[in-house]
Structure 1
Amino acid sequence: MSQMFPTPAPGSPVTEPAARATGLTKVYGKGETRVTALDSVFVEFARGRFTAVMGPSGSGKSTLMHCMAGLDRVTSGSARIGGTELASLSDKQLTTLRRDKVGFVFQGFNLLPTLTALENITLPLRLAGRKPDPAWLETVVTTVGLAGRLAHRPTELSGGQQQRVAAARALVSRPEIVFADEPTGNLDSRSGAEILGFLGDSVRELGQTVVMVTHDPVAAAHADRVVFLADGQLVDELHEPTADAVLDRMLRFEAQSRTR
């Protein structure tokens, strides 16, 4: 299964996806060192939805996120955010697009230790020479549950609180899409559940679009949809997933890969 374009319900309005890959191929190296990380992937990420991307180690899930977020150039095919074809942009234009239209939440938080939580949250806007919308900033801070911690620096915050700062930073510029790469990987189960709950709230209550790479079936079960990669290709998807259903699919793919 290499094509994952959802079919709209009869009579429903056609809405451009937040992001789309069409025949996306990514190759690293040449000759004997050539590795095809993604092999003609077709997938859409609908607006206002929470999608998890899963697959065995080396399946290409992080490469897909990096190409869709404009962090890595595709070898062939197309990667679009909204109506913008990323391959058509210069490096400077890509930097601007990532700053203005894409939010990022990484496993390592990536906070500046000398800045307060509030300063870390608003840093992307300040770098762009823009002021935050006070009402939207308050909404994001309230949703993420940081109202009482904004004056604290990262060393004064727990891991879960630091990741919430990173998540708020990703949302404050009202991006078209947020990419989260193993956002719970450095957190205990309680903090991880809080972050997943916040990401879900940002979709349901703030209308955000979230794409999360994860290896954790419990984390994936917070999403509206899970797409599965194996050997650089999309091989399956689940809607309204449960942790047990996700785990069953993952075990099946891993068993198949061992028999090849």
Structure 2
Amino acid sequence: MTATPLTTDATSAPTARSVAARVVDLHKVYGKGEAQVRALDGVSIDIGRGEFTAIMGPSGSGKSTMMHCAAGLDSATSGEVYIGDVDLTQLKDKALTLLRRDRVGFVFQSFNLIPTLTAEENILLPLAIAGRTPEPAWFDTVIDTVGLRDRLSHRPSELSGGQQQRVACARALVSQPEIVFADEPTGNLDSTSGAEVLGFLRRSVDEFDQTIVMVTHDAHAAAYTDRVVFLADGKVVDEMRQPTAEKILERMAHLSTQGGA
């Protein structure tokens, strides 16, 4: 498939003001010889600061691999990965761990909460590990925005799926990261709970100028974002601004008919 040119300039130098994260000519190859799988094949994407970006594509398109590389959770075979103006591919393991801890937030499909801790303890866990205390006003803002004030003393088993994921979202935001990566954050939720989580993520962008990158297969989830980037066969093939579920579904169908699936 021939890649559609992007409206963003993927070759310009990273700027701290406008770009929160970016990948440049990213390649990720698994295996060797006939068993080789090229998960990413020259992906370049700029992630705008203060924007909500969705990464979509057919199964096997490379969207989760791209996000894991961009977040520093996996290493690229070649290419550059920036958080702000720092190239993650040039960092040693300890420096990379510190950068992820201090500048990046994560939300996963599986919640990843500690069952023996309360909601509040789960939210504060990353700060506790870093030896930091929460900024009180910001903690209150996050808790009230996510709507869990009356559930802070409850353990995960006492919370609904939607409430557990909102705890995970609050945990990602309470340390005030530069960027939050969310991998299918509504994948285990019913439509009502999913809408609550997406609404919270949307508000964190609009009201707190948070930057969020979300991998999703759900057109209705992606419609909450400012921009959708489409991958197919390990390449960026299109992007969409001001997305709607209908437009996204139409584009995904088009990718499938052109061999993107």
- Relative to the length of structure 1, the TM-score reads 0.95
Kept in 2: contact 1:5–1:44 (CA 8 A):
no
- How far off its partner does 1:6 sit? 2.0
- C-alpha spacing 1:244/1:46, structure 2 compared with 1 (3 Å): same
Q: How does 1:42-61 map to 2 (within 5 A)?
A: 42-61=44-63
Alignment pair present for 1:204 and 2:203: no
Amino acid at match of 1:32: E
Alignment match, 2:249: 247
Alignment match, 2:224: 222
Alignment match, 1:97: 99
Structure 1 residues not aligned, in runs of 5+:
8-12
Instruction: Say which is worse superposed, 24-33 or 114-123, in terms of deviation.
Output: 24-33
Alignment match, 1:149: 151
- How far off its partner does 1:30 sit? 1.1
Q: Provide the rounded CA distance (Å) in 2 between the counterparts of 1:258 and 1:156.
A: 42
Q: Provide the rounded CA distance (Å) in 2 between the counterparts of 1:177 and 1:3.
A: 25
Amino acid at match of 1:139: T
Alignment match, 1:72: 74
The CA deviation string for residues 6-55 of structure 1, in whole angstroms up to 9 with x for no partner, is: 26xxxxx9834100111111111111111110111111000000000000
Kept in 2: contact 1:52–1:225 (CA 8 A):
yes
- How far off its partner does 1:159 sit? 0.2
Q: Provide the rounded CA distance (Å) in 2 between the counterparts of 1:17 and 1:74.
A: 20
SS in structure 2 opposite 1:20?
Answer: strand
Q: Provide the rounded CA distance (Å) in 2 between the counterparts of 1:95 and 1:65.
A: 16
Q: How does 1:1-260 map to 2 (within 5 A)?
A: 1=3, 4=6, 6=8, 15-257=17-259
Q: Provide the rounded CA distance (Å) in 1 between the counterparts of 2:56 and 2:259.
A: 15
Structure 2 residues not aligned, in runs of 5+:
10-14
Query: How many residues matched?
Result: 254
- List 4+ stretches of structure 1 deviating above 6 A: none
Kept in 2: contact 1:101–1:177 (CA 8 A):
yes
Q: Provide the rounded CA distance (Å) in 2 between the counterparts of 1:14 and 1:129.
A: 27
Kept in 1: contact 2:67–2:215 (CA 8 A):
yes
Amino acid at match of 2:126: P
Kept in 1: contact 2:58–2:260 (CA 8 A):
no
Amino acid at match of 2:176: R
Q: Provide the rounded CA distance (Å) in 2 between the counterparts of 1:105 and 1:174.
A: 14
Kept in 1: contact 2:29–2:39 (CA 8 A):
yes
- C-alpha spacing 1:167/1:258, structure 2 compared with 1 (3 Å): closer
Instruction: Say which is worse superposed, 134-143 or 162-171, in terms of deviation.
Output: 134-143
- How far off its partner does 1:3 sit? 5.6
- Relative to the length of structure 2, the TM-score reads 0.94
The CA deviation string for residues 89-144 of structure 1, in whole angstroms up to 9 with x for no partner, is: 11111111111111000000000001000000000000001111111101111111
Kept in 2: contact 1:24–1:39 (CA 8 A):
yes
Amino acid at match of 2:27: T
Alignment match, 2:12: none
SS in structure 1 opposite 2:24?
Answer: strand
